[in-house]
Amino acid sequence: MMANKEMNNLLDDIMIEKIASASVSELMAEFNITADEIQTTQSQFLNSVKKHKQQLKKNRLKDARAKLELEKKKHDSVDVAAFLAKKGKDAKAILIDLLKQRKLPENLTVAHREGKEFTDEDANQIIANLVAMGVIDVDDKGD
């Protein structure tokens, strides 16, 4: 039974290869079809491929949006005040400690402040971002 299935698959592959490599005139003669029928079939095939491609793009976008929403929820759930209270330090002190311990990501950058003071709110926001990114574990007892 298995040999028959393998033989049928091999024959199918040979037929597909023969059809794919045949010229249009050969196909028209072999299958008794017109050029219009070939164009119609080709158009239907291309439309089908286009629809599947569009659906794939929509699915990727839907997945990306879902991941973004998950990240937003993770970011929104950060309780910086409770974290700071637990540590007994302000955000600036924690950032300095992380910098000294080299626990900040190497590619982390902070926007140029144009001579403005770095506020506590700025530091709190950076802490919230680092928690959301997973750089700071708010449940870590060893920190």
pLDDT tens-place string over residues 42-80: 899 899 999 999 999 999 999 999 998 887 777 677 778
pLDDT digit string (tens) for 81-115?
888 888 888 888 888 888 888 877 777 766 656 65
**Helices H / strands E in the chain, number of each:** 6, 0
Answer with the residue of higher pLDDT: 36 or 112: 36
Q: What is the largest CA-CA distance in the chain?
A: 86
Classify residue 57 as exposed, middle or buried by CB count within 10 Å of its CB (0-12, 13-18, 19+): exposed
Q: Look at residue 120 in the predicted model and tell me its pLDDT.
A: 83
CA distance 47 to 41: 10
Nearest partner of 97 among 43, 135, 40, judged by Cα: 135
Phi, psi at 34, each rounded to 5°:
-100, 165
Q: In whole angstroms, what separates CA 82 from the centre of its chain? A: 32
pLDDT of residue 140 exceeding 70: no
pLDDT of residue 3 exceeding 80: no
Residues 87, 143 contacting (CB under 8 angstroms): yes
Q: Look at residue 88 in the predicted model and tell me its pLDDT.
A: 86
Q: The pTM is what?
A: 0.43
Radius of gyration, alpha carbons of the chain: 31
Burial 20-33 (b: 16+ CB within 10 A, else e): eeeeeeeeeeeeee
